[in-house]
Amino acid sequence: MAVLVSGGAGYIGSHMVLELLDRGEKVVVLDDLSTGFWWAVPPEAIFLQGDIGNQDLVEGLIAEYGVTEIAHFAARIVVPESVSDPLGYYFNNTVKTRALIESAARKGVKHVIFSSTAAVYGEPPVSPVPEEIALNPINPYGRSKLMSEWMLQDAAKAHGFSYVALRYFNVAGADPKGRSGQSSPNVTHLIKVASQAALGQRDGLTVFGTDYATPDGTCVRDYIHVTDLARAHLAALDHLRRGGESLTLNCGYGRGYSVKEVVEVVKKVSGVDFPVTLAQRRPGDPASLIARADRIRAELGWRPEHDDLEEIVGQALAWEEKLRIKNASA
């Protein structure tokens, strides 16, 4: 029995791999390394570089390594980029997910954990956002993930496997043991960018939009520690192994911070007052996204252990410094 982790060399996927290995699971990682890094995959895992849309490859891996479960992380995730390249996002996030689901069904995979997103909600009329609210994504990234949710739901009913889809809110931080973190240099995650600014790796930080209908005019998000998120996937896997029903759940803390609040925390933790530039809104950014997070606790028994913004920021800064040293010695 093995777990196939698609995108396991990326940010969230690599943390899932670590958590699986920490408890003795057999792990197979498939990643095309378009945004991931081979060195992020621990040697204890089986690693293959390849495309999740290559069905011959995927079905061969399932058969060769006895894969019974899939944790699917591989995707493109930058909202503004999805607006400028919608077809690329539908191909990578939706078409290739369809191929992966079909391969899983053909080869008798029992359980699938799917990496979805709060972007499926669009501009929700209530906050915190419950799972049962009407879904109305406002950008191609959110639509690509929602279509994948629908495919997963329909395929599970037709082919007899079970799944959990986790709708992430804003993922941040790094492995508390310093083994992995957000390693891509050009991502748009706020805490990553602010940490780079604090460490002098960027000239400063740009805040996009100060006229939103929020307390300070900047976007509000629910920031979840990446290790807590990875452990939510473990809880989902355990739920399915116990015979639990298929579920779609929010994964967040149920509390939001504005862009300005996050910037101030990064400045406080780092001790650096880096420059901040105010700019116009970016396309596709909703004003506020905060999870209603009671269902995941009730259904999976998940309990976060790193629900502290200063801790999240401190570990993100530590990872950036470690990454700087690693890159300098490469």
Strands 220-221, 257-258: pairing kind: antiparallel
Half-sphere exposure of 80 (CA within 13 A, CB side): 7
Instruction: Report the C-alpha gap between 275 and 206 in whole angstroms.
Output: 9
Strands 247-251, 27-31: pairing kind: unpaired
Catalytic residue among 89, 121, 141, 253: 141
Helix axes 259-270, 190-198, angle to 10 degrees: 40
Residues with Cβ within 8 Å of residue 297, at least 6 apart in sequence: 303
With beta carbons less than 8 A apart as the criterion, state whether 215 and 258 touch: yes
Annotation marks residue 90 as catalytic: no
**Distances in whole angstroms, Cα of residue 153 to Cα of each of 6, 14, 156, 229:** 19, 26, 5, 22
167 exposed, middle or buried (CB, 10 Å; 0-12, 13-18, 19+)?
buried
Residues belonging to the active site:
141
